[in-house]
Amino acid sequence: MQQSFVANRRFFDDRNFPRGFTRSGRFTLAEGNLLEKHGLAMQQLDQGARAPVNEEEERFLLVCRGEAEATTPYEKTWLKYKQRLAEKRKFHTVFGKKRIADGADDFSYVETDTD
């Protein structure tokens, strides 16, 4: 029986995760390592560029198509990766556009007579 998810090179997604999977803060160390080592094979299977070589890879395709529930680390990690790609990433700043536009961060000093 052939080994599952064998890839001839590491998988990186510099466009969506320029600092790497583990340093993105969106994957655990184990998930990041699994994606780097086996992500290319999983991507090729998911996109139809590669045929499954055993039952584990055939089941992976069922999971990718939504016909089966994810149970293995490969299946769960790949679905998490695809979910992270579909999410809109929020960007938080200290000052929002409205506050800058209103000039609300301008401070003025007013002297008052208390006598």
For residue 16, what pLDDT band results from cuts at 50, 70 and 90?
very high
pLDDT tens profile 72-89: 999 999 999 999 999 876
Structure tokens at 75: 């299946």
C-alpha angle 57-58-59 in degrees, rounded to nearest 5 = 90
44-48 long-range contacts, Cβ below 8 Å, gap at least 24? Answer: 44/7, 45/5, 46/78, 46/82
Residue 99 has pLDDT above 80, yes or no: no
Do 79 and 72 touch, CB atoms closer than 8 A? Answer: no
Single pTM value for the model: 0.74
Indicate the range of 26-35, 55-64, 65-74, 89-98 predicted with least confidence. 89-98
pLDDT of residue 45: 97
Structure tokens at 56: 């584990």
pLDDT tens profile 47-58: 999 999 999 999
For residue 39, what pLDDT band results from cuts at 50, 70 and 90?
very high
